């Protein structure tokens, strides 16, 4: 028998074709506990399947995530397939997809997730699938073995040798899990087989029990009484030990087929499959608090224990914060725990501000090394900077106003100037202006009018007085000579005057 999970991804090559020789006698119980108002755990037990799911998310409704996972897995409650691990992995993936759909339909559920520990039984062995920090145990011949490995931050510290198991039990971040079924990150459950023998007792439980009861206490309770007594006593002992979380336990005894026992040969013959916790309460009215499942009819019961409203569990207030924070909202985060949150946030803001300031300074410095030619009123001007407008920042200034006017330029160069012509340097800008000056219309040079030379008059000569004639014929009158119209001339700013 090998009760230790193999390396991740290892699959037992056996096909499980042996005839069933074992059966399960099981019991399941879930309790909201003394602190929380809602039960976010879900559990299921039958002759083929045992499941624990611990919902994570607080206000994001971890109860919906856990019940969704259990409902997806309970479809395996029938004669198991040959490859039980593949069936378990597929069911967990379907739960992952369904949670993603629920979050898409209701964004208020964003952040919800759940742990899953499930055992599928074929009559000889169980295939186990595990993700999160719910646990699976095997009690054999009085020795208790932990079958699963927590996917938690403190477990990583234990693996690195930085803390011990006892220190992990009181570590401030002991509830921070690194892997869960959340509808976002790909599911990566541990998958392995466990061979069973008559007399074995299996326990699946949420961290509401395993987080407060040490190894010896769990072994002591599991080694006493029936499966019904074991689930009740596990929850009562967890509450007495100060558990502030929901508590769910599934216990199953492994018996030989046809073996004579004190009770019925199979518990399922009397009770059928057992669905407990949030999965049994769904759907429930909004705002309705979960009730304790402790009832006085069970031997050794404490009576019904109602949740205590207003009491904060461990870590109910985040260090340095004023608003109460449900630890469940901080529980699932695939990253290291947040220490000095405000200091780190402030440091991050300062770093971003410094980077932006440096980038702005370098960008402005670069911009002031640029030149371009553009319109400055009616004239062509040379500017230093870039053609951009930034509120509160002057990005350019006039360097030189040239004698070239916009109206003196042909249409295309004029449009280029209005749009702005980039230059590689100040010297290049002057070259551009020189080219524009050559393209500009030059003002015509005025032609000087010659001064007329005076003609000397002849000396007067005596003329004979004409004799009057009988009739006077008028002499023909000369028509005035037309004065030529001067041609139009261009004047600035329609042209550019030539310089000597």
pLDDT in tens, 3-40: 445 444 444 444 444 678 999 999 999 999 998 889 99
Please answer whether residues 95 and 76 qualify as being in contact, where contact means their C-beta atoms are separated by less than 8 angstroms. Answer: no
Sign of CA pseudo-dihedral 288, 292, 297, 298: positive
Residues of the chain falling short of pLDDT 50 = 1-4, 6-17, 264-270, 285-288, 293, 295-321, 335-338, 469-475, 477, 485, 487, 500
Cis peptide before 283 (omega within 30 of 0): yes
pLDDT given for residue 242 in this prediction:
93
Is-above-0.85 flag for pTM? no
**Burial per residue of 37-56, b for 16 or more beta-carbon CB atoms within 10 angstroms, e otherwise:** ebbbbbbbbbbbbbbbbbbb
Instruction: Give 400's strand partners.
Output: 382
Measured between alpha carbons, how far is 160 from 175 in angstroms, rounded to an integer?
18
Residue 221, classed as helix, strand or coil, is: helix
Measured between alpha carbons, how far is 14 from 82 in angstroms, rounded to an integer?
9
Packed helices 426-439 and 411-419: angle between N→C axes, nearest 10 degrees? 150
Measured between alpha carbons, how far is 299 from 158 in angstroms, rounded to an integer?
38
pLDDT in tens, 117-155: 999 999 999 999 999 999 999 999 999 999 999 999 999
User: Which tokens sit at 209?
Assistant: 């029990």
Measured between alpha carbons, how far is 47 from 273 in angstroms, rounded to an integer?
7
pLDDT given for residue 473 in this prediction:
46
Instruction: Say how many C-beta atoms besides its own lie within 10 A of residue 262's C-beta.
Output: 5
pLDDT given for residue 265 in this prediction:
45
Q: Which of 33, 69, 32, 59 is nearest to 279 (CA)?
A: 69
pLDDT given for residue 448 in this prediction:
61
User: Which tokens sit at 439?
Assistant: 């393209």
The torsion angle over the Cα atoms of residues 390, 394, 399 and 405, rounded to 10 degrees, is: 50
Measured between alpha carbons, how far is 120 from 104 in angstroms, rounded to an integer?
31
Q: What is the DSSP secondary-structure string of 46-73?
A: -SSEEEEEEEE-GGGTHHHHHHHHHHHH
pLDDT given for residue 45 in this prediction:
97
């Amino acid at each position: 028998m090998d009760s230790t999970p193999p390396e991740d991804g290892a699959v037992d090559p056996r096909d499980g074709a042996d005839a069933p020789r074992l059966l399960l006698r099981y019991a399941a119980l879930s309790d909201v506990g003394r602190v929380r108002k809602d039960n976010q755990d879900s559990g299921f037990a039958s002759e083929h399947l045992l499941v624990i799911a611990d919902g994570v998310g607080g206000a994001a409704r971890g109860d919906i995530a856990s019940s969704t996972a259990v409902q997806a897995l309970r479809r395996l409650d029938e004669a198991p397939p040959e490859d039980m691990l593949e069936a378990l992995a597929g069911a967990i993936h379907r739960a992952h997809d369904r949670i993603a759909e629920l979050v898409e339909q209701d964004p208020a559920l964003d952040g919800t997730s759940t742990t899953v520990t499930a055992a599928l039984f074929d009559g000889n062995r169980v295939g186990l699938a595990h993700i999160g920090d719910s646990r699976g145990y095997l009690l054999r011949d009085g020795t208790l073995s932990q079958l699963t490995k927590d996917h938690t931050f403190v477990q990583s510290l234990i693996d690195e040798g930085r803390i011990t198991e006892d220190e992990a039990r009181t570590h401030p971040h002991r509830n921070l899990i690194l892997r869960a079924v959340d509808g976002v990150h790909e599911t990566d459950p541990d998958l392995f087989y466990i061979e069973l023998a008559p007399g074995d007792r299996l326990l699946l439980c949420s961290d509401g029990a395993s987080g407060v009861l040490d190894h010896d206490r769990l072994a002591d309770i599991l080694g006493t009484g029936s499966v019904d007594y074991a689930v009740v006593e596990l929850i009562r002992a967890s509450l007495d030990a100060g558990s502030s979380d929901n508590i769910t336990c599934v216990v199953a005894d492994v018996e030989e087929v046809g073996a004579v026992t004190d009770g019925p040969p199979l518990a399922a013959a009397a009770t059928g499959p057992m669905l407990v916790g949030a999965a049994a309460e769904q759907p429930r009215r909004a705002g309705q608090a979960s009730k304790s499942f402790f009832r006085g009819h069970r031997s050794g019961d404490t009576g019904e224990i109602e949740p205590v409203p207003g009491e904060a569990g461990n870590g109910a207030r985040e260090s340095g914060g004023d608003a109460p924070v449900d630890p469940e909202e901080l529980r699932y985060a695939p990253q290291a725990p947040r220490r000095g949150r405000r200091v780190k946030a402030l440091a991050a803001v300062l770093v971003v501000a410094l980077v932006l300031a440096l980038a702005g300074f370098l960008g402005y410095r670069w911009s002031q090394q640029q030149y371009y030619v553009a319109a400055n009123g009616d004239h062509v001007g040379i500017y230093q900077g870039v053609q951009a407008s930034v509120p509160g920042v002057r990005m350019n200034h006039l360097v030189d106003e040239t004698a070239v006017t916009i109206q003196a330029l042909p249409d295309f160069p004029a449009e280029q100037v209005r749009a702005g012509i980039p230059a590689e340097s100040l010297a290049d800008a002057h070259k551009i202006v020189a080219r524009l000056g050559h393209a500009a219309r030059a003002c015509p040079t005025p032609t000087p009018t010659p001064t007329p030379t005076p003609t000397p008059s002849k000396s007067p000569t005596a003329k004979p007085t004409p004799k009057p004639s009988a009739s006077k014929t008028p002499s023909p009158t000369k028509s005035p000579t037309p004065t030529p119209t001067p041609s139009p001339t261009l004047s600035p700013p329609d042209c550019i005057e030539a310089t000597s």
